[in-house]
Amino acid sequence: MTRTPDTVHLAVVQMHMTDQLEDNVERAAEHVREAARRGAQVILLPELFENLYFCQVEREDYFGLAHPLEGHPFIGRFQELARELNVVLPVSYFEKAGQAHYNSLVCIDAGGELLGNYRKTHIPDGPGYEEKYYFNPGDTGFKVWDTRFGRVGVGICWDQWYPETARVMMLQGADFLLYPTAIGSEPAEVETPNNHQMWQRAMVGHAVSNSSYVGSSNRIGKEIVGGLEQTYYGHSFISDYTGELVAELGDSEEGPLLHELNLKEARKFRAGMGFFRDRRPELYGPLLTTDGVTRRG
């Protein structure tokens, strides 16, 4: 494990997408270059930025967007970019592995090395977000990567609603938590809609209960897929380790959002709060069940 730096410059990128892979990849690369030019060392792109959010509908044709990690059409390009700019890039992509399909993310270190692959653990299923049709449940477990600029923990979109995701990554030694997302409006028939405030509050709660910086990147704009339309609400943000929103974009701004993370102060604050000292894991058995009672095996 490398020594954790005292400070890290984080950027979360907010952007719109089209149905053209090369267009999206080129725009993402331009945002990465801008963020690096402004001093960013870790740069987070949105979830599945390679195309429109196709999960609005269930269509067999969209499985054709998936590619294996080996020989992937654009991950190598971001490896070269990470090497050139000396930045860490967690990169979301639609993965094909044998007969399985995953909503995945690779973490690319500042030298261009692939540090590992994470497959999204929690897969949503609802109007406008039909991910269970496309994605197998992730089988990698949660991941924290020891990068040149700190230990980076990354969940993917629906993972952000689960306190278990954040807590596990912090227990694995994450210095800060990141969540690439694709979230916005929902069809009128949805009875339990959320909004950007609720979405932010969930992650700010992770910042508070883990005394950790949290950053999230989202897409913007209207996207029409299979005759359905969604408007992605942006509001990418960075929260500090007390839950304060220290940086935020609006609902239509595009580009990188930067903030310096004081990891030294966060470590000191986290130890003083005692959240990890006072945990009682021997009493948390019900968390390993689906109904709070039944034990497996």
Tens of pLDDT, residue by residue over 27-83, are: 999 999 999 999 999 999 999 999 999 999 999 999 999 999 999 999 999 999 999
Q: Can you give the pTM of this predicted structure?
A: 0.96
Domain ranges of the chain: 7-288
| pLDDT tier, 249 (very low <50, low <70, confident <90, very high otherwise) | very high
pLDDT for 295 beyond 80: no
| CA dihedral sign of residues 154, 157, 163, 164 | negative
* 178 CB-contact burial (10 Å; exposed 0-12 / middle 13-18 / buried 19+): buried
Tens digits of residue pLDDT in 164-217: 999 999 999 999 999 999 999 988 888 888 899 999 999 999 999 999 999 999
- Can you state the angle between helices 196-210 and 163-171, rounded to 10 degrees? 30
Residue the block writes with tokens 């359905």: 228
Average pLDDT over residues 126-151: 97
Q: What is the pLDDT of residue 62?
A: 98
157 is catalytic: yes
Residue the block writes with tokens 């991941």: 143
| pLDDT tier, 1 (very low <50, low <70, confident <90, very high otherwise) | low
Average pLDDT, the chain: 96
**For a pLDDT cut of 90, what percent of the chain falls above it?**
94
Tens digits of residue pLDDT in 262-287: 999 999 999 999 999 999 999 999 99
The catalytically annotated residue of 95, 120, 130, 186 is: 120
Of the CATH numbers 3.60.110.10, 3.30.2350.10, 3.90.230.10, 2.60.120.260, which one belongs to the domain with range 7-288?
3.60.110.10
107 is catalytic: no
**For a pLDDT cut of 70, what percent of the chain falls above it?**
98
120 is catalytic: yes
**Contact present, 235 and 249 (Cβ < 8 Å):** yes
The catalytically annotated residue of 130, 157, 186, 223 is: 157
